Amino acid sequence: MKEILKVDQLNKRFKNIHAVSDISFSVQQGDIFAFLGPNGAGKTTMLRILLDIIKADKGKVNWNINGNNHTLPDSSQIGYLPEERGLYTDVPIIRSLIYMASIRGMEKQEAKEAAMEWLGKVQLADRAKEKLQALSKGNQQKIQFISSIIHKPSFAILDEPFAGLDPVTQESFIEFIHELNKQGTTILLCSHQMQLVERIAGKVFLINKGEEIYNGFLNDIYSIFGDRLIIDIGFSEEIPDNKINSITGIEKIEKQNNRNIQVTFKANVNISEIMNKLSGIPGISHIKSHNPTLHDVFLALVKKEQNING
């Protein structure tokens, strides 16, 4: 696969905050590359540097779309859904979409056809002539999404595409992103909603406080976490902390509420022994074991990083 974006040792400071610190990564053509981290980790700053909206203090960004090496490709090749959503609310939807496509180089007729096609996909074709302000927030988000990819870009940057969406619309957005990718668009998405991202991304870059925590394939990241066993336990009465703590091999216990806990066991523990112990604890209403999620891995990596840094 061809390398379409290469970022080398990027740095950006805002007064006393090191927003981006020595970040390097590359994206291959056809990837769905996820840039993950909590709020304030430096994700949006990173994207703004890639798009030349703000300048890096140090480092290089090299784009290589359609065989052309550039520091910034032509806007017709790039789609961008910013975290800060906004469109012209007092203008008919179809006009807004045509304008957004036109400034990215699409001809008016072609833009109109593309807009109607996408509006059909999101079931808003009959509302094309209405003003954006007449739509619900979720539908406005759909229009915002269309406006960022309507011109069929080679590379789409989606910043927090799932933010503020209800679960049904989130599922639709996952489908849209898959479809876009199938059409040949390489995707770089930023999010803090890791459970959604791990369903679509092939590669991930974990960032915390402007620094790289992990950069690689999603499948590989779980091996870092090891063969830890995670068990969710629900109680019908008060949680018997002393009995839970007496089980050997526990790495950490996370109390989710007064009736539910998540227990993470160290690698290679004896599962049957643990199950025997649990069966002797009264008041357990349910038990569910699962593999570590991206969220679990992220927390583990942040903790590891903090331990290394002292």
Partner 1 sequence: MNYFKQLKTVAFWEYQRFYKLKNELIGIAVLIIMGLVGGSVGAGIQSYAEAEKDITITITDQESPELKKALSEKFTVDIIDASQQDDFIEKIKQERKGLLLCSDGDIFMLHAYKEPRPINDIQNVLDTYRQNLAIKEKGISTEQLDYVLEPAEFEKEYYREEEAQYRTVAAYVFVVLMIMAVFSSFAYQFTGITGEKQLKVTEMIVSAIKPKVWMDGKIVGITLTGLSSMLSYLVIAILGGIVIFILANISAASVLKYIHLPSIILFFLFTIMGILMWNAFMAAIASIITDPNNSGKSSIMFIPVAFVLNSFFVISYPESNLATFFSWFPLTSPSTMPILWSITDIALWQLAGSFIVLTATFYLLRTLAAKIFRVSILISGNEPSWGEVFRLAWRA
Query: Any idea which residue has 């006393």 for tokens?
Result: 16
Are the CB atoms for 302 and 208 separated by under 8 Å? Answer: yes
Least distance (Å) from partner 1 to the CB of residue 57? 12
Least distance (Å) from partner 1 to the CB of residue 51? 5
Q: Is 250 helix (H, G, I), strand (E, B) or coil?
A: strand
Least distance (Å) from partner 1 to the CB of residue 103? 5
| Closest by Cα among 144, 185, 193, 157 to 53 | 157
Q: Which is nearer to partner 1, 27 or 299 (CB)?
A: 27
| Closest by Cα among 167, 162, 171 to 144 | 162
DSSP 172-230: HHHHHHHHHHHTT-EEEEEES-HHHHTTT-SEEEEEETTEEEEEEEHHHHHHHH-S-EE
Q: Which is nearer to partner 1, 25 or 145 (CB)?
A: 145
Contact residues toward partner 1 (CB under 8 A) are: 48, 51, 53-54, 74-76, 78, 80, 82, 84-89, 91, 99-100, 102-105, 144, 147-148
Q: Which is nearer to partner 1, 38 or 82 (CB)?
A: 82
Q: Which is nearer to partner 1, 149 or 204 (CB)?
A: 149
Q: Which is nearer to partner 1, 148 or 264 (CB)?
A: 148
Least distance (Å) from partner 1 to the CB of residue 278? 51
- Spatial separation of the C-alpha atoms in residues 242 and 224, rounded to whole Å: 30
Least distance (Å) from partner 1 to the CB of residue 155? 12
Least distance (Å) from partner 1 to the CB of residue 300? 34
Between strands 32-36 and 186-191, the pairing is parallel
Q: Which is nearer to partner 1, 99 or 222 (CB)?
A: 99
Q: Is 49 helix (H, G, I), strand (E, B) or coil?
A: helix
Radius of gyration of the chain (CA): 23
